[in-house]
Amino acid sequence: MALGCSNFRQAGGNYNETVVIRGISCSPGIAIGIITPVEPAKLHSIPDHKAIDRDAEEAVFQVAVTMAKQELRSSRERMSTHLPREVLALFDVYILMLDSGKLNSETIARIRAGQWARDALSDSIRELVRVFERIEDPYIAAKAEDIRNVGRHILSHLQREAPAAGSYPKRCILAGTELSLAEISSVPRDLLAGIICRNGSALSHIAIMARALGIPAVMGLTDLSMDDLEGCNVVVDGNQGSIYINPSPSDLVEFEQCLLEGQAMSAQLEMLSDLPAETTDGVRIPLLVNIGIGADDLSITAPKYEGVGLYRTEFFFISRKTLPTEDEQYRLYRNLLQTFLPKPVIIRTLDTGADKALPFFSINEANPFLGWRGIRFTLDHPEIFLTQLRALLRANFGLDNLQVIFPMISRVSEIDETVDLIERAYQELMAEGHTATKPQLGAMIEVPSAVYSIAALSERVDFFSIGTNDLTQYLLAVDRNNPRVQGFYDNLHPAVIHVIHDIVARAHCQKKTVGVCGEMAGDPASALLLLGMGVDSLSMNPSSLARVKWTIRSFTKQQAQVISGQALTVENETGIVDLLNNALLEAGLGVLIRGGPCVYPDLRH
């Protein structure tokens, strides 16, 4: 049943009854605040009118598109001090969508056929959205959400309703059926505490932005009615993917205590920043960072990091209207390598397709996650792949801290073809008088078939990295962003941890190192498990480093091995979670358990 604030007021009017609604966890953390709903421009309720003056309607539409682009540029500027470049690039994606030839040409064609601008825009947006929504894949649904948001931007200006600055409560929880980047940017950063959405997924642009801002967010709240929510108290639990509307006074006290203890813990975790990730018996494990776009924002903090475990080149491609040139890519990669010199930098070649479509290259597939993505796409487009490989070889010259990894490897022949292209790129550069250095090569293990090709792959590559996000989805046949099956996605499923154990054993048998760069690496409990399995390095978002480091520094390597051995004997996810959580509790790390007790520890030992 959909619920609104009026339901709670009617239930006695004393706000003692708490209603819990579950959705999708899109950004971790706990926020307590007051709901501020956003009323979007409604594309679905535009009345039919004929255009009295078609030229005037077309001009009005063009002006609205221009104003929408200006609005997004202003929003990008406001957020420039709060977001890294790769997330700011999302604004550029929206601006590119506003420049979309298909959207503009179809709307103008409808205007010229006699519709007024608002109706023409509404029909064009509906038609584009329908194309995506026919495909039952939540990643594609996220693109439909983006198209609707772009349409709402234009419509608000057609209706002469530029977004108002508004007044916001101190702890603003922004709520909407769908939210846009501009709507979130309009709330002053010091007032925005959390985000809740009836629609949306962890892959949506809003979720990416929330994670970058460090703001708890829960989406996919399909049981949430947007009526009568304004002014309601709410707790947003981004760890568990739940919201608590009108929590009782006693619940509020507990959540406030958790919030304060979490903030205090974060401050104390800073004390670990200069210490190594070393077990109590002296075993060190490198903790690397996952990044995208460029190194400019990391120049100050780069010395704190042990290197880059995953640099996602697709963000640079996605943020542009055209393919980047070889020189543009060279400058980007060279700057990144120099910033971290002499530490290793693992750069993943273009991983487009599925949820990461190139704005200048249309791919329409019924099931994109099992389709034309990663290495399959780049091998089919050697002109794109060779340009990137040439830029990487040039950037590595004289530095030699580059390692290149290839995504979505499913068969040995893909590596063979890739190695041939690298040799071709190198020979071309030598013939042209360029300087270049070949890097170490690696393969992502995220497709189950690659697990059983490790021996053959080891003859061709220098290292492996496990992408646990895709590996879990492919192994369990579960899309983690589909709310209908969200409960089935669990990277602590016994099958997943057995496969990871198998990967490590097979790689080490071939004397190859193996790291983990998926979300498991940044989860303290999972990191303990991976440490015990013998993983050689962990790579994660910078915000997860301190918690994982604290975990590693609280156990011996032998303790971690015993725990991972026990986990391999457990038959269900719940048992594995309990095992790992109990280990954290016994080590005094209960505060690191998602949804666990808020016990404030002393880290100064």
| Whole-angstrom distance, CA of residue 287 vs CA of residue 551 | 12
- Please tell me whether residue 322 adopts helix, strand or coil conformation: coil
- Contact predicate 517/539, CB 8 Å: yes
Q: Which of 5, 26, 172, 205 is catalytic?
A: 205
- Contact predicate 137/369, CB 8 Å: yes
Side-chain half-sphere exposure of 581, counting CA atoms within 13 A? 13
- Please tell me whether residue 363 adopts helix, strand or coil conformation: coil
Nearest alpha carbon to residue 463 among 420, 523, 428, 504:
504
Cis bond before residue 524 (omega within 30° of 0): no
| Whole-angstrom distance, CA of residue 165 vs CA of residue 183 | 10
Q: Which of 5, 197, 258, 517 is catalytic?
A: 517
Q: Could you confirm whether 232 is annotated as catalytic?
A: no
Q: 138-158 and 85-98 are packed helices; what angle lies between their axes, rounded to 10 degrees?
A: 60
Q: Could you confirm whether 381 is annotated as catalytic?
A: no
- CB-based contacts of 366, cutoff 8 Å, min separation 6: 135
Q: Which residues is 443 bridged to in the sheet?
A: 406, 464
| Whole-angstrom distance, CA of residue 238 vs CA of residue 47 | 39
- CB-based contacts of 257, cutoff 8 Å, min separation 6: 598
What is the DSSP code string of 49-69?
-B-SSHHHHHHHHHHHHHHHH
Side-chain half-sphere exposure of 256, counting CA atoms within 13 A? 10
Q: In this structure, is the dihedral angle defined by the CA atoms of residues 534, 539, 541 and 547, taken in order, positive or negative?
A: positive
Phi, psi of 348 (to 5 degrees): -90, 130
CB atoms within 10 A of CB 91: 25
What is the DSSP code string of 418-440?
HHHHHHHHHHHHHHTT------E
Query: What residues are labeled active site?
Result: 205, 517
